[in-house]
Amino acid sequence: MKRKVLITLSLLVASVGAASWWYVKARAAAVEFPADAFALLPADSALVVYADMAALRGEPLVQHLAAMAPAVQPNGDYAEFMAATGFQYERDLDRIILASSSAPTAQAPPAHFVAIADGRFDQTKIEAYAQRNGSMQQQDGHAVFTTPAAPGRTTAFTFLNAGRVAIGDSADISALLAARSAAAPDAALQEQVSRVAGSPIFLVAKAQTIMPAASRATGFSTPLNGLRWVNLAARPDGDKVLLSAEGSCDSPEQARQIAATLELLRGLMRGMVADPKNLGGAPPEAAKAVSQMLQTAQISSDATRVRLLVSMDTAVLGAAPVPAGR
C-alpha cells in the first residue's frame, strides 16, 4: 500500500539530520537563526536543532566530503514525491528547525515534535500531491494535510507562507498556527539559542533531555546534577570546523568541576592516541591530527558556564586535502 505524503515529508526531515553531518564541514558564514521562528516553537520545547542548508550549500569542502559518501538514489515514495512536486531537499531546502519536548526514542516518542522548513516549494504541486494521498481540513485559516503515522499518532503539515512549511506530529496543529500571535517565546530557551544563533548547525537542549544522568537521583551529588542546559554548535573556518559545547550549571563550582573532568578525559584520550595499538589501523596523519586536536582544545569555565572549543580538520574527518577554493 502506498504510504502517505506526510510520512515522506517526515522521512525528509529525518534525512536532513543525517545530511547535516556532511554540510557542517563547510566554509560559509551562517545566516542568523530566524527570529520569527521562536514564536513557532512550543513552550515546552526541550530540544531544538537547527541547520542552515543555504549557508553551507555549494562549498568546496562540502562537495568533497559529500562525494566520498555512498551514492543514494531516491526510490519509493520520495522518488514519487520528487517527480510529482519537483522538490529536492539538497537543492531547495534552505533551513530546517526541529523542536521536541524530549529526545525521540522508539520506546517513548516525545509529547510533541515540530519541524519548520524554509526553502523553495511549489505549493500548488505539493498541496495537490498531498490531497491525493491524505486528507485536508481547514485550521486557523490554513489548509492542513494529515495522514496516519505511527500507531495511534498522526502527522500534519501546512504552508505558513510560500517559502515556509510547518510539520507537526498531531492532526490538530492549531496551537502551532496560533503561536504566531502569542506572547513572547520561552525566555530561557531564547537565551540559550541566542548564544549559538550565528552557527550554521546547532543543538540546544535541556541537559536531562540528552543526558539523563543530569537529572537522575543518586545517593551522592555529581557536577551533572547541576547541569541545566547544553548547547552544541559547529562553525566552518577555512578547511577546518570549529566545534563548541557549552553547559549551563547551577553554580560556578559545578562548572569548574565539569571543566576539571573534561581535562581529565582529555589526558586519558591523549594517552590512548599515543599508543598505536589503540588506533585500529588509522593512518598516521589522522592519529597526528587527533593528537593535535586534543592538545589545542580549549576547556574553560566562566561563572556558571563551562565551555569546550575544538578545531577539527580534514585529517580528523577522514578526508583528503580540500580542493581549491571557488
Query: Of 137, 164, 181, which closes a domain?
Result: 181
pLDDT of 111 > 70? The answer is: no
State whether 116 and 195 are in the same domain: no
State whether 209 and 123 are in the same domain: no
Q: Look at residue 212 in the predicted model and tell me its pLDDT.
A: 67
Query: Of 127, 156, 181, which closes a domain?
Result: 181
pLDDT of 1 > 50? The answer is: no
Q: Does some domain include residue 324?
A: no
Please tell me the distance from the alpha carbon of residue 82 to that of residue 18, in angstroms, as a whole number.
19
Sign of CA dihedral 25, 28, 33, 37: negative
158 within 8 A of 139, measured Cβ to Cβ: yes
Q: Look at residue 271 in the predicted model and tell me its pLDDT.
A: 83
Average pLDDT over residues 164-188: 70
Q: What is the rounded average pLDDT for all residues in the chain?
A: 75
What cell was used for 170? 498531531
Sign of CA dihedral 204, 207, 211, 212: negative
- The C-alpha R_g of the chain, in whole angstroms, comes to 21
Q: Cα 31 to the chain's mean position, in Å?
A: 15
Domain that holds residue 159: 5-181
What cell was used for 139? 485550521
State whether 131 and 197 are in the same domain: no
State whether 36 and 177 are in the same domain: yes
Label residue 68 by pLDDT band (50, 70, 90).
Answer: low
Q: Look at residue 117 in the predicted model and tell me its pLDDT.
A: 93
Task: Compare 125 and 2 and report the one with higher pLDDT.
Answer: 125
State whether 193 and 105 are in the same domain: no
Label residue 323 by pLDDT band (50, 70, 90).
Answer: very low
